[in-house]
Amino acid sequence: MKALIFEQFGGPEVLQYADIPEPNLEPGHILVRTKAIGLNFADVYRRRGNYHLAGKPPFILGYEAAGVVERVASDVTHLQAGDRIAFCDVPFANSELIAVPIDRAIPVPADIAFEQAAGILLQGMTAHYLVNDSYLIQAGDDIVVHAAAGGVGQLLIQLAKSKGARVIGLTSSDAKKAVALKAGADVAFGYDKEWVQEVIRFTEAKQGADAVYDSVGSTLMDSFAAARTKGTVVFYGMAGGDPPHVDPRMLMDTSKTLTGGDLWNHVTSLANRIERAEALFQALRDGIIQMEGITSFPLKDGAEAHRLIESRQSTGKILLIP
């Protein structure tokens, strides 16, 4: 089978499209022929060597994909060849065939395209737990979304708006402001200006947002400044660098809440994965979530896809198509 592999850490140029043996089909697994594969920043970090990779070269990136079951192990009875499934946490997805544990296999309804399933699970489940678990958004809330033009950012905007919130997007350029506004943000501010004061002015009597979703990290103290008294800051990423240490006395003095978020603490069973995935699929059907701006590359051109995601010029999901 064909796969996108690399044998040493480095830039996109280390990626190769090569023939490798098919994976073994072990008990409790299914063999899936991938139809669409999600590209995420974690793949870039693994390629560079920032994240630990077990085993020996050749390495295969990718954890998120959708496809069709080709074969099932003898002990698997509830799935069969031809079933449509997706997953967001199975390694070696950058290949034509992948062995998927049955406790990671999420059924994909016939009315959901493979590209939609592969493009929404990881970022969509992240946005879903952020607006329902980390901070339960209520109608009338004022919400700040960092990196609002990114994949998770756009989904956060759409899910927050569906709950009746006003959304303030933060972006790094005018072009990305336009993306955030198109996603449904009520207003978008740039990082190049005094955005904290803009948030305070926009929220009027509240003097700050009810919740600030911070995926940048280095902006954490500004996020606290933009949150109202008794407001919440949800910290779930470090795209801009490590956050500063937080003085608990500040939290006491302002009655503000700091909470963290990691997807894998919120999807701990197949039932929970399916529940969140079905909520996302329904949001697609209802038009709550719009998946615009998907960019697809043939799997063999994976290096070009990596160059695009590293450029930070893309605003939607990037897919690899076998």
Residue 34: strand, helix, or coil:
strand
Split into its structural domains, the chain has a count of 2
- Whole-number pLDDT of residue 45: 87
- Whole-number pLDDT of residue 50: 79
The CATH number of residue 168's host domain is 3.40.50.720
The separation between CA 22 and the C-alpha centre of its own chain, rounded to angstroms, equals 28
Domain identity same for 272 and 242: no
Domain identity same for 149 and 116: no
142: which 2 tokens? 């004022």
Half-sphere exposure of residue 117, counting CA atoms within 13 Å on the CB side?
26
- Whole-number pLDDT of residue 207: 95
The CATH number of residue 69's host domain is 3.90.180.10
- The pLDDT averaged over each successive group of 10 residues in the chain (322 residues) is 96 97 96 97 89 83 97 96 97 97 98 96 96 97 96 95 98 93 97 95 96 96 98 93 93 96 92 97 96 90 95 84 98
In degrees rounded to 5, what are phi and psi of residue 177?
-60, -45
Q: Which segments of 37-167 does DSSP mark as H helices, in order?
A: 41-48, 114-129, 151-162
Question: Is 132 a member of any domain?
Answer: no
Question: Is 128 a member of any domain?
Answer: no
> Minimal CA–CA distance to 300: which of 94, 63, 41, 67?
94
203: which 2 tokens? 């929220």
Question: Is 192 a member of any domain?
Answer: yes
- Whole-number pLDDT of residue 54: 74
Domain identity same for 80 and 30: yes
Domain identity same for 22 and 97: yes
Q: Which residue range is the domain that position 238 belongs to?
A: 139-260
- Whole-number pLDDT of residue 314: 75
Domain identity same for 256 and 272: no
Question: Is 131 a member of any domain?
Answer: no
- Whole-number pLDDT of residue 315: 72
> Minimal CA–CA distance to 224: which of 190, 201, 257, 261?
257
Question: Is 300 a member of any domain?
Answer: yes
> Minimal CA–CA distance to 48: which of 12, 77, 79?
12
Domain identity same for 219 and 297: no
Domain identity same for 107 and 11: yes
Domain identity same for 214 and 255: yes
Question: Is 28 a member of any domain?
Answer: yes
Q: Which segments of 37-150 does DSSP mark as H helices, in order?
A: 41-48, 114-129
Question: Is 134 a member of any domain?
Answer: no
Domain identity same for 155 and 114: no
CB neighbourhood size of 156 (10 A): 31
pTM of the model: 0.92
The separation between CA 217 and the C-alpha centre of its own chain, rounded to angstroms, equals 16
Domain identity same for 26 and 108: yes
**Looking at the DSSP assignment, which residues form a beta bridge with residue 231?**
none
Domain identity same for 189 and 283: no
- CB-based contact 167:184 (threshold 8 Å): yes
Question: Is 37 a member of any domain?
Answer: yes
